[in-house]
Structure 1
Amino acid sequence: MASNRTLYTAADNLSQARGLSASISSISSLSSPAPSGRSAVASHISKTYRQASTLFLTRRLPEALSTVLPLVSPSQSDDPNGPLEPAPVIQASRSSRVKVWSLYLTVLNAIVELDPDDGKEAFGTQEWRAICHKVREGEIWEEVIRNGYDGIEGDVDAEVVINLATLLLTHAKTQITNQKRLENYLAAARTPNLNISSNRFTESSPRRYHSLGPGQRRATTVPSGADTPLDLHARVKILELYTLHVLPRNNEWGYARELISVSPVLDDERREAFLQALDTLREEQLEAERREEEERARREEAIRRDIEEARRLRAENEVRERRRLEEERAKREAEERERRERVRAAVTEGDFGVESTPTRPTAKSGSRLPEGVARERGPLPTRRASGGGNAVAAPTLMSKASMVLGNLRMLVDEIAGAFQTNPYVLLRMLAFIIGLLMLLSRKGIRERIARILEASWAKVKATAGMGTKVSYI
């Protein structure tokens, strides 16, 4: 592999600079670790993996994450100023490495699927949001490559790639990052070699480390190409995820069809199956888009009908309200006209409803006096025609007072009897009084009444003066 050859060349150059003897001893000590140390690391990884799996199965996610996290995270070396030690998972065998990363990704998937309240309660708000952001934005892919495969993207195990792609398919906001990572991996991976007998690495082959300096190590990993049927199956699975799930999510249908058609890892039968699956997915998407378009059109039509109905109801309400206002205005105008007619009739009558009585001429002057004045003055004294007869005595003040009181009592009795026989008279009188008060409340009416009363009083005084002169004569 090209990357491995580059690492070997860099290590050889560095060893020549520091001395051949020191380099040989360093390389031999690091590239061939003691079996006891390797067994201790493998035992520790296996034990930690089983413990984390048990915690995960019992849904104790915080404990499971804190248990598996030291296996996949670099640790600080004994020297405070020295570089970070590689993650323990780098020293594990391929099967253990795949198991550890698969468990770590599964725990992250379960954490992201938690209800927000449960996640914040279990991990804290900041930590839970950081985990969700790392998964949904695709940062977990970079973490796996950096901590588990020394930054070499093509060395990532196919099973781990499948788990990463599935995790991003489930939780990522967009599949752009997923597509880019899969393209980089497929471009960096080796061309398939199905000659099993030529494989130089096996399932249990350890990763080799080369000295780059004090405390620094870089691993040359087991090739990740399709050298075995298992690798070929994994590559087919990755291609399936890439062409049938990631690219369709990014609307790359043409590119997916082209990639399936020219892929060297697919035989004719699988290629035909992939193309049929892609056509089915395309038809399902078109059908879903058609249904969505129909649903959107139905919603828009319903909204349009609702708007038209609202406009119609508003127009009807406006017409009804306008009609009601017009009826009320016509009613008020009719009442106003009727009130004006009553006022005009009352003003025309002169004394606001009291009918004037015809006057009658006096015995001697022939002038017409108002009946009320004639009644108050009483009948004129009559004289005998004969000159020698005695004249009738004039009524005294007491007799006049008795006559007035008697007339008032008769008036009160008549009014009381009228009220008892016809109560409507009282209502008419009250209505008359209320109308009179309403008329008097207007300044113009009051002024006009005052002028009428002044003119009437002047006539009464003139008539009384004329009567006095006639009586004197």
Structure 2
Amino acid sequence: MALNGSHATMLPPARGTLSSSQLLSSSISSISSATSSRQASSQISKIYRQSSTLFLTRRLPESLSTILPVIQPPLADGTSESSGEAAPIVRASRSTRIKVWSLYLTILNAVLELDPDEGKISFGSSEYRALVNKVRDGEVWEEVVQNGYGSIEGDVDAEVVINLATLLLAHARTQKTNQTRLENYLAASTSPNLNITERLEASQDGRRSPTKSISGADTPRDLNARVKILELYTLHVLLRNNEWDYAREFITISEVLDEERREAFLQALQSLQDEQKEAERRAREEQRYQEELLQRDVEDQRRRREQEERERRLLEERRERQKTPSEIDYGVEDTLPSPSSSKARSKPVSSRGSVGAVNKIEPTLINRASTILSNLRRLLDEMTGSVTATPMSVLRTLGFILFFLAVFGRRQVRERIRRVAAQGWMKLLQTAGMGVKVSYI
């Protein structure tokens, strides 16, 4: 069998033709490699089922420890260093490989959703922090590429890429790492690998061939996975990094999307942008409302303090007034008739007759006498009550009574008061007589 020069340079040093013994040896190695690959896939599937059962019963530490030997390279005997061999997952079939990596990423997602205290109790503080940091820093992506796909970024199965991007989208500290990884994958998966040596090694290890079409989608299943990756990249990761314009441009020039999908992606992008603007507007309104509430609270507190200060000053003034003796009103002014009341009483009597006028005058005099007596009684009551409260007021009251008695004790004053009273009485009778005459006429 003859090979051209370009292919010969990528194969081990050999002559231009292969002997029949070499072809037979190659066929036997291929058959033995396929047999060992099927046996490895069967063993890995058994471990996968055990780990899945443990995961479904929420025994996360046991589930993780069961699946780890499948996805990590074996260690050298008696040491903690890698033996240099590939992880067992490399020799598994494509479907088994996807299921194992998906289960591993699902376990990590469940670990990060645990309460921190619960996670430290279940895994231990150091191991729990290591698992959390592996996901939040994006190191889990590099772990999958190295252990499962021989460090070939574009050879990662699309379903595994979707699970990785979703895990980082939910738990990563920043989406910059997620964006970089997706861009590297999209760039690598669209470039066909023409290295024949890698293709032969991949087929011997049980891995899928790294050759892809220009768009990275050879089958309808690959196309759907590719569209899902583009959706995560353009409508989630880029938007988290606030790269709206770049997302719109990437959707517009993408060769994977047909016109219908492209229009749907652009409409979804516009809807998300409108929702973000509306959310920002509501956030600004809420912030302004909270600031107004805070300002009103501050103003209410200021008015409340001022009111409390006024009440405190009034209370202090009231206490100061209570400490000093106060003047007591004895109601003397109430006993003296006002000029308006005297004029009202001296008005002519109506035309109903002198008998009615006399009947109205007599009760008026009685009322005046009763008023004087009630004022004197109130004066005595107030004097009695103020004896214990304000002793000085008693002295003033006694002085007033003595002065009153001294004035009325003079003969000239009594005679003058009697004349004034007689004159008032005569005027009242004359007024009554005039009223009788007017009524008679």
| TM-score, length-scaled by structure 1 | 0.58
- Checking the alignment, whether the CA contact within 8 Å between 1:261 and 1:271 is kept in structure 2 is yes
Aligned to 1:107: 107
- Checking the alignment, whether the CA contact within 8 Å between 2:94 and 2:207 is kept in structure 1 is no
Q: How many residue pairs were aligned?
A: 311
**Structure 1 residues 297 and 12: CA distance shift in structure 2, 3 A:** farther
List aligned pairs for 1:287-326, cutoff 5 A.
287-326=278-317
**Structure 1 residues 82 and 294: CA distance shift in structure 2, 3 A:** closer
**Structure 1 residues 298 and 29: CA distance shift in structure 2, 3 A:** farther
Q: What does the per-residue CA deviation read over 1:325-353, in whole Å, with 9 as the maximum and x for residues that have no partner?
A: 44445666x47x99xxxxxxxxxxxxxxx
Q: What does the per-residue CA deviation read over 1:339-396, in whole Å, with 9 as the maximum and x for residues that have no partner?
A: xxxxxxxxxxxxxxxxxxxxxxxxxxxxxxxxxxxxxxxxxxxxxxxxxxxxxxxxxx
**Structure 1 residues 126 and 329: CA distance shift in structure 2, 3 A:** farther
Aligned to 1:222: 210
Q: Distance in 1 between matches of 2:69 and 2:82?
A: 19
List aligned pairs for 1:67-466, cutoff 5 A.
67-78=66-77, 83-190=83-190, 207-208=202-203, 221-223=209-211, 225-328=216-319, 334=324
Q: 1:86: how far off?
A: 1.4
Q: Distance in 2 between matches of 1:26 and 1:136?
A: 48
Residue 126 of structure 2 aligns to a residue in which SS? helix
Residue 280 of structure 2 aligns to a residue in which SS? helix
Comparing 60-69 with 222-231, greater Cα deviation is found at: 222-231
**Structure 1 residues 256 and 41: CA distance shift in structure 2, 3 A:** same
Comparing 263-272 with 53-62, greater Cα deviation is found at: 53-62
Q: Once the two structures are aligned, what percentage of the paired residues are identical?
A: 56
Q: What does the per-residue CA deviation read over 1:416-457, in whole Å, with 9 as the maximum and x for residues that have no partner?
A: xxxxxxxx9xx99xx9xxxxxxxxxxxxxxxxxxxxxxxxxx
RMSD between aligned alpha carbons? 3.8
Q: Distance in 1 between matches of 2:30 and 2:78?
A: 22
Q: Distance in 2 between matches of 1:140 and 1:11?
A: 34
- Checking the alignment, whether the CA contact within 8 Å between 1:90 and 1:207 is kept in structure 2 is no
Q: 1:206: how far off?
A: 8.7
- Checking the alignment, whether the CA contact within 8 Å between 1:109 and 1:167 is kept in structure 2 is yes
Q: 1:33: how far off?
A: 4.6
Q: 1:233: how far off?
A: 1.2
Q: 1:219: how far off?
A: 7.7
**Structure 1 residues 29 and 252: CA distance shift in structure 2, 3 A:** farther
Q: 1:286: how far off?
A: 1.2
Q: 1:78: how far off?
A: 4.6
Q: 1:152: how far off?
A: 1.8
Q: What does the per-residue CA deviation read over 1:113-145, in whole Å, with 9 as the maximum and x for residues that have no partner?
A: 122232222212222222122112211111111
Q: Distance in 2 between matches of 1:25 and 1:315?
A: 104
Q: 1:108: how far off?
A: 0.9
Q: 1:177: how far off?
A: 1.4
Q: Distance in 2 between matches of 1:59 and 1:321?
A: 66
**Structure 1 residues 319 and 25: CA distance shift in structure 2, 3 A:** farther
Letter in 1 for 2:57: T
- Checking the alignment, whether the CA contact within 8 Å between 1:192 and 1:227 is kept in structure 2 is no
Q: 1:276: how far off?
A: 0.5
Aligned to 2:361: none
Q: Distance in 1 between matches of 2:204 and 2:77?
A: 19
- Checking the alignment, whether the CA contact within 8 Å between 1:134 and 1:140 is kept in structure 2 is yes
Q: 1:35: how far off?
A: 3.9
Q: What does the per-residue CA deviation read over 1:284-306, in whole Å, with 9 as the maximum and x for residues that have no partner?
A: 11111111221111111111111
Letter in 1 for 2:312: E
Q: Distance in 2 between matches of 1:27 and 1:76?
A: 30
Residue 114 of structure 2 aligns to a residue in which SS? coil
**Structure 1 residues 88 and 58: CA distance shift in structure 2, 3 A:** same
- Checking the alignment, whether the CA contact within 8 Å between 1:179 and 1:247 is kept in structure 2 is yes
Letter in 1 for 2:126: Q
| TM-score, length-scaled by structure 2 | 0.62
Unaligned runs of 5+ in 2: 1-5, 16-21, 328-383, 392-441
Q: 1:237: how far off?
A: 0.6
Q: 1:261: how far off?
A: 0.4
Q: Distance in 1 between matches of 2:117 and 2:92?
A: 37
Q: What does the per-residue CA deviation read over 1:34-64, in whole Å, with 9 as the maximum and x for residues that have no partner?
A: 4442232111111111111121122221111
Comparing 312-321 with 44-53, greater Cα deviation is found at: 312-321
Q: Distance in 2 between matches of 1:91 and 1:37?
A: 8
Aligned to 1:44: 43
Q: Distance in 2 between matches of 1:32 and 1:243?
A: 44
